[in-house]
Structure 1
Amino acid sequence: MAVGRESSTIGKTGRREARLPAGSSGLRRGSNLEHVADFNDSVVLDAIRRSRTGSSRAELTAETGLAAQTVSDVCQRLLDQGLIAETGTTSTGFGRPRRTLELVPASRYALGIHIDPATITYVLLDLSGNLVAHFSRQTSSPQDADVILAGMTSALDVLLAGSGIEQDRILGLGIAAPGPIDIAGGVMVDPPHLPGWHRVELVDRLHQATGLPVVLGKDVTAAVVAERWAGAAIGSSDFAFLYLGTGVGVGLVNGDIVVRGRSGNAGDIGHLIVDVDGPPCICGQRGCLGAACSPLFLIQEAVAAGVLPASPDDGQLVQAVRRVGTLCRAADDGDERAVAVLHQSARRLARAITTIGGILDTELVVCGGPAWAPAAHHYLPLLKPMVAQQFVMREIHGLNVVGTALGADVAAIGAACLILDERFAARP
């Protein structure tokens, strides 16, 4: 499956660049044509990055399909740029020992911002995707885009000052935002849980404020890029990421290509029906995933069961996300009513996961997000056997369900990974 890749980027000159290269499956093979040197550099760098113990030039030649001289030339360029380093030698038992090449994580960095109705999260990652610095702020006026944007630049300055990293080593700023987004214009378009954000020009405004290249992506897309770059799915060419936060969405990787869709808004599965007897949805149906597995409905069920007391804020989605942790602590303390609420939610999630797995024909679904984090230790033991039993292709291959290794801030980490992926991922 060849899937186009779309991105909206502001370069160092301030001019917007649009890219739509095609993709191919598996680890990409290089080309020995001189005019695609940049692509070959990315192929070799990606192979070195994915090797946890480093690679020799001979191993890179075999893995990438490039000529030995081409690999040698590429490695020299990467060494000159400080992106890789020779870290030792290995002996094969005959001939000269081979020099091991490894990524230099501290050679480059990327900033990321995740815009969420409850919290704005800021991160700084190194080239390996390791978290170097992080902080978050609750959004006191989430509907006022101008107020939020005014604070973003100062927040980034604080983050950088605390890290001690020189700005000339910062590759750019990635933004993970709730959809829908206008990729071509770098704009957020009326996100449902941020009613004051009407066509907010995120890319242009943050580029002008920071002077950095800026990349905008949907939050679920950012999350799946994070898992591919630094999380549980490193080395996986086909997997899905189920994001549970103030909203529900899915990020997809097929044939080692991040599936973004025609407009960059792929992954909206909120109206997938997972419980025909579930709650009514704004679309007119009942039991849609976005309604039945939302933090809001989870807390409403907990209140109805007597697990949690009623609150004047029960109708607020942002507050519901925060109360999921309280529900999970009740279940941890042995409250059978709380356990029953979480079990019912897990059954709905299992139906969604098996549907996603069947559509993508994948062996892996990673789950994460703010509403997943407190409930993960309840959900995973339930989801694994449910999915194994329901998956229609179980006689051909299994479908593994895992939680993200990147924590509740996976979308913010993914925002920074959008920069790393844009700059260094191998694409024709």
Structure 2
Amino acid sequence: MRRGTNLPRMGDFNQSVILDAIRRSSDGLSRVELVDLIGLSPQAVSNITRRLLAEELIVEAGKSGSGPGKPRTILRINPSGRYAIGVHLDPALMTVLLMDLMGVVLHRKVREIPQRTEPGGIIDAIAGEVSALLAESSVDPARIEGIGVAPPGPIDQPTGAVVDPPLLLGWHRVPLRDALAEATGMPVLVEKDVIAAAVAEIWGGGRESTESFVFVYIGTGIGSGIVMGGEVIRGTSGNAGEIGHIVTDCNGPECACGMRGCIAVTCDPQSLVLEAERLGVLNEERHRNGDVADGLLQLCTAADQGNDLAVEILNRAAVRTARAVSVLANALDVDRVVFGGPFWEPLASRYLEVVPSSLLGFRAARSIHPVEVVSTGIGDDVAAVGAACLMLERTLGPRAERLMLAR
């Protein structure tokens, strides 16, 4: 939990700290509790909460206290105080959703992306889904912070452009942020899907969420989101978390980068499906149009039904994934690893059996502290939820840059 500061000119940061504390409390907080929790003076808390009430970001929700003394007024988030739209752009699927200030998804649309669709066609499709989503809701447009978009990386953060992602063909420096802003007339923020997923985990983790963790994102590709001290590590260019070329098996298949056994050719869903086809577990024509999600589901079903080769493929992939995760866990010294993403669910039960014990063997600090391995509680839409959270976080979250004083 972040604490505020009574230094002058810290109003924006303090306001966001108070708002975040109230949001994370399931029962709400009184002003007295905020003073104790945040470390601000009673006058500062009173002034800030008055502003938040006036902006309808929080509401007074009854009294508490049965002992001596004046009952305390409980403050809670006003879910309808602000909204955000989240978009997850996976090479196979597009998810668009509308979320309130408490992280509740009010409306959601998912559609497949045909292969070899031009970037302009996809941007137009996103704008159309946003328009349809708003038409279904009764939300005041003035309360929508904007649209957060989570495409695969790499991205050029200053321009909001998507730069040659391996699985989105033809996306060479596509100005996604500006093009979508022009198409919708709304503010747009673009961040990588793995960073969005990590942000969603922070927002959805509640008051007791860990401060430092790695989010392992399993979609069409595999990436990671890194959280240290309660904040996402974005890196110099906003592209931190690219782990596709960590070697997990030096005798594995050759990767396009020139090495052998990288995550990109040993652990991602497409690699598992191709291996299953090569070994005869799957007939290449059994999954429709080469659909990776369908092939992965069939592979996992075969393993559940006792197919020894399918079990071997998945167990080997789980151990390889644990090796890659151990590199991150050892380098960053985190206490939790969270798995999620659109292709995670079919793998979850088997990976959660194999990865924790395998990870233990690879970790340097295993005798000092454990590392918890869990599934995200947010579900398959974690990147889209995170994209919406990004818009709210930019305006309302207690990020470190708010502490920077102007000269």
Query: What one-letter code is carried by the residue in structure 2 that aligns with 1:389?
Result: G
Task: Please identify, of 90-99 and 189-198, the stretch whose mean Cα deviation from structure 2 is larger.
Answer: 90-99
Distance 1:75 1:187 in 2: 38
Q: Where do 5+ consecutive residues of structure 2 fail to align?
A: none
- Structure 1 ranges of 4+ moved more than 6 A: 312-315
Give the aligned partner of residue 189 of structure 2: 215
Query: What one-letter code is carried by the residue in structure 2 that aligns with 1:104?
Result: N
Count, aligned residues: 400
Distance 2:76 2:304 in 1: 43
Alignment of 1:6-405 (within 5 A): 27-91=1-65, 93-231=67-205, 235-311=209-285, 319-405=291-377
Distance 1:351 1:106 in 2: 44
For residues 86-119 of structure 1, what are the alpha-carbon distances to aligned partners after superposition, in whole Å with 9 as ceiling and x for unaligned?
2122226332122211111122110011111111
Do the aligned partners of residues 415 and 142 (structure 1) sit closer, same or farther apart at CA in structure 2, a change above 3 Å counting? Answer: farther
Distance 2:206 2:250 in 1: 32
Contact 2:108 2:133 in 1 (8 A): yes
1:49, distance to aligned residue in structure 2 (A): 1.0
Structure 2 counterpart SS, 1:35: coil
Task: Please identify, of 369-378 and 268-277, the stretch whose mean Cα deviation from structure 2 is larger.
Answer: 369-378
Contact 1:295 1:371 in 2 (8 A): yes
Query: What one-letter code is carried by the residue in structure 1 that aligns with 2:332?
Result: L
Task: Please identify, of 231-240 and 30-39, the stretch whose mean Cα deviation from structure 2 is larger.
Answer: 231-240
For residues 175-200 of structure 1, what are the alpha-carbon distances to aligned partners after superposition, in whole Å with 9 as ceiling and x for unaligned?
10111111101111111111211211
Distance 2:212 2:103 in 1: 20
Distance 2:288 2:208 in 1: 39
1:142, distance to aligned residue in structure 2 (A): 4.0
Structure 2 counterpart SS, 1:120: strand
Give the aligned partner of residue 380 of structure 2: 408
So what's the TM-score if we normalise by structure 1?
0.89
1:334, distance to aligned residue in structure 2 (A): 2.6
Contact 2:24 2:207 in 1 (8 A): no
Query: What one-letter code is carried by the residue in structure 1 that aligns with 2:131?
Result: D
Contact 2:86 2:97 in 1 (8 A): yes
Q: Where do 5+ consecutive residues of structure 1 fail to align?
A: 1-26
Question: Cα RMSD over matched residues?
Answer: 1.9
Do the aligned partners of residues 168 and 207 (structure 1) sit closer, same or farther apart at CA in structure 2, a change above 3 Å counting? Answer: same
Distance 1:395 1:286 in 2: 31
1:312, distance to aligned residue in structure 2 (A): 9.3
Task: Please identify, of 405-414 and 230-239, the stretch whose mean Cα deviation from structure 2 is larger.
Answer: 230-239
Distance 1:199 1:389 in 2: 41
Do the aligned partners of residues 272 and 339 (structure 1) sit closer, same or farther apart at CA in structure 2, a change above 3 Å counting? Answer: same
Distance 1:387 1:196 in 2: 37
Give the aligned partner of residue 425 of structure 1: 397
For residues 299-318 of structure 1, what are the alpha-carbon distances to aligned partners after superposition, in whole Å with 9 as ceiling and x for unaligned?
122223332112398996xx
Distance 1:221 1:379 in 2: 22
For residues 275-301 of structure 1, what are the alpha-carbon distances to aligned partners after superposition, in whole Å with 9 as ceiling and x for unaligned?
122111111111111211011220122
So what's the TM-score if we normalise by structure 2?
0.94
Query: What one-letter code is carried by the residue in structure 2 that aligns with 1:290?
Result: A
Query: What one-letter code is carried by the residue in structure 2 that aligns with 1:414?
Result: G
1:34, distance to aligned residue in structure 2 (A): 4.7
Do the aligned partners of residues 142 and 133 (structure 1) sit closer, same or farther apart at CA in structure 2, a change above 3 Å counting? Answer: farther
Do the aligned partners of residues 232 and 248 (structure 1) sit closer, same or farther apart at CA in structure 2, a change above 3 Å counting? Answer: farther
Distance 1:32 1:198 in 2: 47
